[in-house]
A and B are shown apart, each in its own frame.
Chain A
Amino acid sequence: MSGIAKKMASNQKQIAISEFFEKNKHFLGFDSLQRSIITAVKEAVDNSLDACEEARILPEIKIKISKVDSKKDILELVAEDNGPGIPQRSIEKVFGQLLFGSRFHAIRQSRGQQGIGITGVVMYSQLTTGKPTNVVSKVASEPTAVSVNIGLDTRKNKAVKSDQDRIIWETDEMALKLHGLKVTTRMKAKYQRGRQSVYQYLRMTSIVNPHAEITFVDPDGEKHHWPRVTERLPRKVDAIKPHPHGIELGQLQRMCRESKDSRLTVFLRQNFSGVSMRAAKELCEASELSITTKPKSMKPDHIRALLEAFQGERLVGGKPIKLLSPPTNCLSPIEEMLIKKGLSKTIDSKFVSTMTRAPTVSHGNPFQVEVGLIFGEGMAADKHVEILRFANRVPLMYQQGGCLLTKAIESVDWRQYGLEQAGGKGVPKGPAAILVHLASTNVQFTSEAKEALSDNEFVFEESRKAMLEMGRGLRKHLEKKKKMAKTREKFELINDILPAIAEKSASILERPVPELAGSITRIMSAVICNESTTWNRETKETDVSITLFNYTSRARSYSILVNWPEKSGAVMTANERGGRKETMGIWGWKIETLDPGQKAEINYSLSNLEKGDWTETEVFFRGSQDVIGATKLDEKMLEEIRNQEKILAEAVVEVGEEENPETQYEPAGVVEGDTNQTTLFGGDN
């Protein structure tokens, strides 16, 4: 080949990579200079969080962006984590081979499925700066780290490594780094601030990853820090097999082609979830295939027939084939307490209401919706509330208006919960932020850009329900706050003002200061309950104290009940009054006689919780005279909780009994009922 021809060929190959980027830049997230840097950070951070989660390590992530050349818009990104690192032999593949993701085909909730992966960043860097990306990786089992530059040979169109070396990797504190990964890369990109920025992405990431410690140094050298607020790692999730309701033709074709099974029934039983022996036989019958059909030898027509049977378009005995629901343990919700913590750490406000719905299923795909609302000082009261959207713990920062989760927020009449909203529709206004998280094995987006969730009535309904419930929590909180303010006023009246009136009037008239007890009883003429729930820094426990004052002229008798996070594993200690368990999460004490002018105190501590887990205790009472600061117990509600406890306890026994008709999956789509809800008392815990 002549020199010119060679050059042309290489040019063509060069074009191949650039063309690939050009054609897919929207899908890859590199369609603008502003977005490119966000995408790069996102790929790196998602990988770090995923790797740490798998290795059960509490993540510490450091991101630094600096300007290398402002005229040419060249930025340098350094992303470092304390994850397991990548063994030397795999580095080249991870960073130099497209779609080398380890879990690309597994069905479970994970972050990694979204973008093209870290290789895209390496490519983009190479294409825009001509420079390779430096990777430093240290695995725990080796004494030194490996440092290597990964570039792309645009001529051969493949990854090349250079300058590989073993080095001693020290942390900023001059200690030896035990394990972790550091990526340093340069790219043409622009750093910007605002709603769509690296800062916002990291902030949102830290909200849904309260177990992560994230620091960020921006191009101006300003350091941002989002501390870890829980030591609890997200639950390890299991991969599940696809459910027949959620499968597409292409996927089914591939599964058949790759199958080594000799019988169709075995193939169906072993590669899909929710298929019982009977269902496998019925599926064969409906698709007019022999149970001994070899999947590998199936014709396109056969496969299409099988798919139709999956989707209930082919019937047996005039009915669609009954399939079991897919298991939902493949989902990893953030869970209420952690949403609460995550929100509280980036937004400085007192009240958070959260709601995690029970997992459910849509079209064979397990999913679960969680919502959180933070309300109060520190946020603009006259602006639209901030909407924080997440899919599988990944922040969604673009296309807010077109997203299903936004539509669910807009469909709620927030006015009844104390927010402003023109006409009871649209994004509400007020000092609040609303978080929505969809955890699902199959998140469906409106476009390749993967920034807005497409319409799905089940997900919509679940989100709406979650928000209604959470809204009730907000309303309750606001009502309680009002009541508390009133009570505080009364206490100020009898503790400060009344004594001052007595003293001053006595001194003007030159008479003795009169006794106040009688007036106090008349002024209050009520039984008042004071509750305080505080974190005790020394004992690392949450101290709860409840005081009941009888400011009436008669002796009173009450049962006092409280809610407490028993389900979250809290343990009640130092409860000297004893009392008894009413039901899961509800404790009660009997106060036999409370004489006029007397007070009764209940004190206990909650251990096995972290700071911020439990900040408000709800107090209930049984008794005839109203108690200011407590809610009269609704016996029906208590009964309801008891019933649900029973149902849940029974459900645990049934797990694994595949053919149980009670858990049969209805083709209609959604498992009804709220049996698994984690919040029974309004969600403000």
Chain B
Amino acid sequence: MARVNDPELTKTRLHTVVEEMYDRIVKGEPPTMTLPVRTKNNIGFDRKLGVYKYGKKRSTRDATSLGSAKNLLRALHVVEFIEEMIEAGKSSTLREMYYISEGWGLGKFGSQNESNNLAEDLEVVTSCLREDFKLRPEEDGARMIGNITVNELNRRGQWMTINARDDVGDSGYGVPYNVEIEKIELKEHDVNFLMAIETGGMFDRLIENGFDEDYKCGLIHLKGQPARSTRRIIKRMNEEWDLPVVVFLDGDPWSFRIFASIAYGAIKTAHISEYLATPSATYLGITADDILAYDLPADELSKKDIEALNAELSDPRFADGWWQDQINMMLEVGKKAEQQSLAKYGLDFVTDTYLPEKLGEMGLA
């Protein structure tokens, strides 16, 4: 799904937020800001888009308590700040905005978390992306290796052509925070599928073993919970090049969530799931049955792990039968295992045996 960046549209949408507050005051009512409820109870499957989106539940933040009134005031400051950046052709990090808010008097943020949340709130109500707001996250994007060529607009305004196998070192191509069309063009590729990998150790193991060339694939290091730009570039490659995506993670409840955020959309960003989620992505491993089938060294589930698994059982994104089975099985076994536990059978086991077997099942090798 391609997006167009239209600064005027962004401004108009931001103004609707301001208008809501203004009009309420004119009517003699407390000003309000209406936004979708951002919890798992308010996400549902959107058939048309094939991803999970926020449902109809809305909450109204009204200025009847000091806390929410301050929040509204902050939102106004942020709107004003974004307009200034759009006009000046600048961007800032969320952290910078947090520090800039020091000068906003009563509207200043109490913590960085507040400013991050508010940026998301504004995305949600305006259906814009924070890239449209010229706000950048701190988190760095993914690393990518494989025979994939992109054009990137660099800071001097020149388009550079980069091949993620031939033009990069061992750390691969660094995905920038903005991967929208005005910044990144997907030029060409010679791979059969993309593999997203949770840990740096496993990513480096596959590179060292030459897995990307042997199996003609693109490898992407997620760095734990993937940044928005990581999910977005996977989505674009999947959509524009029609490449299958497999996801290779640790075998624990938190990895299940990572997968859900890649495939179905994250709860926090459900307003932009159609840009970020890759519904056709497949979970490769480590699965609960891998732990048994490969007799992997495993750790006991902690209390937190068990809570997380139970929460997943009632999460609409995991409602399908396969996931329910996996989650229940993990609860039953009471164990979790890391990707790198495959090293029990030697350094090459993962590339020589485990992955070929798994990919074979999926018809990718």
Using CB atoms and an 8 Å cutoff, list the residues of chain A in contact with chain B.
489-490, 492-493, 496-498, 500-502, 504-509, 511, 514-519, 521-523
B73 near A508 with CB under 8 A, answer: no
Q: Mark B139-178, 1 if CB is under 8 A from A, else 0.
A: 0000000000000000000000000000000000000000
Task: Indicate if B49 sits at the interface (CB-CB under 8 A).
Answer: no
Task: Indicate if B15 sits at the interface (CB-CB under 8 A).
Answer: yes
- Chain A residues contacting B76 (CB-CB under 8 Å) are 501, 504-505, 508
Q: CA A507 – CA B25 in complex, angstroms?
A: 14
Q: Mark B55-89, 1 if CB is under 8 A from A, else 0.
A: 00000000111100110110011011001000000
Task: Indicate if B47 sits at the interface (CB-CB under 8 A).
Answer: no
B65 near A493 with CB under 8 A, answer: yes
Q: CA A518 – CA B69 in complex, angstroms?
A: 16
Q: CA A502 – CA B31 in complex, angstroms?
A: 9
Q: CA A502 – CA B18 in complex, angstroms?
A: 10
Given contacts A492-B66, A497-B69, A501-B69, 11 further A-B contacts (CB under 8 A): A493-B65, A493-B66, A501-B76, A504-B80, A515-B25, A515-B26, A517-B28, A518-B25, A518-B28, A522-B30, A523-B64
Which one of A489, A502, A508, A511 has the highest number of Cβ atoms from chain B below 10 Å of its Cβ? A508
Task: Using A506-B22, A519-B28, A522-B29 as known contacts, say yes or no to A489 and B66 having CB atoms under 8 A apart.
Answer: yes
CB distance from A278 to the nearest CB of B (A): 72
A496 near B25 with CB under 8 A, answer: no
Q: CA A500 – CA B106 in complex, angstroms?
A: 8
Task: Using A493-B65, A497-B106, A498-B63 as known contacts, say yes or no to A505 and B30 having CB atoms under 8 A apart.
Answer: no
Pick the contact of A511 from B22, B64, B73 — CB < 8 Å?
Answer: B22
- Chain A residues contacting B29 (CB-CB under 8 Å) are 518-519, 522
Task: Indicate if B297 sits at the interface (CB-CB under 8 A).
Answer: no
Which one of A492, A500, A506, A517 has the highest number of Cβ atoms from chain B below 10 Å of its Cβ? A500
B28 near A493 with CB under 8 A, answer: no
B70 near A502 with CB under 8 A, answer: no
- Chain B residues contacting A500 (CB-CB under 8 Å) are 73, 105-107
- Chain B residues contacting A519 (CB-CB under 8 Å) are 24-25, 28-31, 63
- Chain B residues contacting A496 (CB-CB under 8 Å) are 106
B27 near A518 with CB under 8 A, answer: yes
Task: Indicate if B299 sits at the interface (CB-CB under 8 A).
Answer: no
Task: Using A504-B80, A518-B29, A519-B29 as known contacts, say yes or no to A497 and B24 having CB atoms under 8 A apart.
Answer: no
B73 near A497 with CB under 8 A, answer: yes
B28 near A522 with CB under 8 A, answer: yes
CB distance from B16 to the nearest CB of A (A): 10
B28 near A502 with CB under 8 A, answer: no
CB distance from A554 to the nearest CB of B (A): 15
Q: Mark B26-42, 1 if CB is under 8 A from A, else 0.
A: 11111100000000000
Q: CA A515 – CA B26 in complex, angstroms?
A: 7
Task: Indicate if B46 sits at the interface (CB-CB under 8 A).
Answer: no
A505 near B18 with CB under 8 A, answer: yes
- Chain B residues contacting A489 (CB-CB under 8 Å) are 65-66
B25 near A514 with CB under 8 A, answer: yes
Q: CA A667 – CA B76 in complex, angstroms?
A: 77
Task: Indicate if B19 sits at the interface (CB-CB under 8 A).
Answer: yes
B65 near A508 with CB under 8 A, answer: no
- Chain A residues contacting B26 (CB-CB under 8 Å) are 514-515
Q: Mark B1-34, 1 if CB is under 8 A from A, else 0.
A: 0000000000000010011011011111111000
CB distance from A483 to the nearest CB of B (A): 14
B28 near A504 with CB under 8 A, answer: no
- Chain A residues contacting B22 (CB-CB under 8 Å) are 502, 505-506, 509, 511, 514
Could you jot down 30 A-B contacts, CB within 8 Å? A489-B65, A489-B66, A490-B66, A493-B63, A496-B106, A497-B66, A497-B70, A497-B73, A497-B106, A498-B31, A498-B69, A500-B106, A500-B107, A501-B76, A502-B25, A504-B73, A504-B80, A505-B18, A505-B21, A505-B25, A505-B31, A507-B80, A508-B79, A508-B83, A509-B18, A511-B22, A515-B26, A518-B28, A522-B28, A522-B64
CB distance from A673 to the nearest CB of B (A): 47
Pick the contact of A509 from B15, B73, B105, B107 — CB < 8 Å?
Answer: B15
CB distance from A505 to the nearest CB of B (A): 4
- Chain B residues contacting A505 (CB-CB under 8 Å) are 18-19, 21-22, 25, 31, 76
CB distance from A210 to the nearest CB of B (A): 40
Task: Using A509-B22, A518-B27, A518-B29 as known contacts, say yes or no to A501 and B15 having CB atoms under 8 A apart.
Answer: no
Which one of A501, A515, A519 has the highest number of Cβ atoms from chain B below 10 Å of its Cβ? A501
- Chain B residues contacting A522 (CB-CB under 8 Å) are 28-30, 64
Which one of A493, A505, A506 has the highest number of Cβ atoms from chain B below 10 Å of its Cβ? A505
- Chain B residues contacting A508 (CB-CB under 8 Å) are 15, 18, 76, 79-80, 83
4 A-B pairs closest in CB distance = A518-B28, A489-B66, A504-B76, A505-B22
CB distance from A666 to the nearest CB of B (A): 58
Residue of A nearest to B69 (CB): A497
Residue of A nearest to B62 (CB): A523
Residue of A nearest to B72 (CB): A501
Q: CA A522 – CA B65 in complex, angstroms?
A: 12
Q: CA A507 – CA B31 in complex, angstroms?
A: 16
Q: CA A523 – CA B69 in complex, angstroms?
A: 10
Q: CA A205 – CA B80 in complex, angstroms?
A: 63
- Chain B residues contacting A516 (CB-CB under 8 Å) are 25
Residue of A nearest to B70 (CB): A497
Residue of A nearest to B19 (CB): A509
CB distance from A226 to the nearest CB of B (A): 42
- Chain A residues contacting B64 (CB-CB under 8 Å) are 522-523
CB distance from B291 to the nearest CB of A (A): 45
Pick the contact of B63 from A518, A521, A523 — CB < 8 Å?
Answer: A523
- Chain B residues contacting A501 (CB-CB under 8 Å) are 21, 25, 31, 63, 69, 72-73, 76
Residue of A nearest to B80 (CB): A508
- Chain B residues contacting A493 (CB-CB under 8 Å) are 63, 65-66, 69
Residue of B nearest to A517 (CB): B28
Which one of A492, A516, A521, A523 has the highest number of Cβ atoms from chain B below 10 Å of its Cβ? A523
CB distance from B202 to the nearest CB of A (A): 47
Q: CA A500 – CA B30 in complex, angstroms?
A: 13
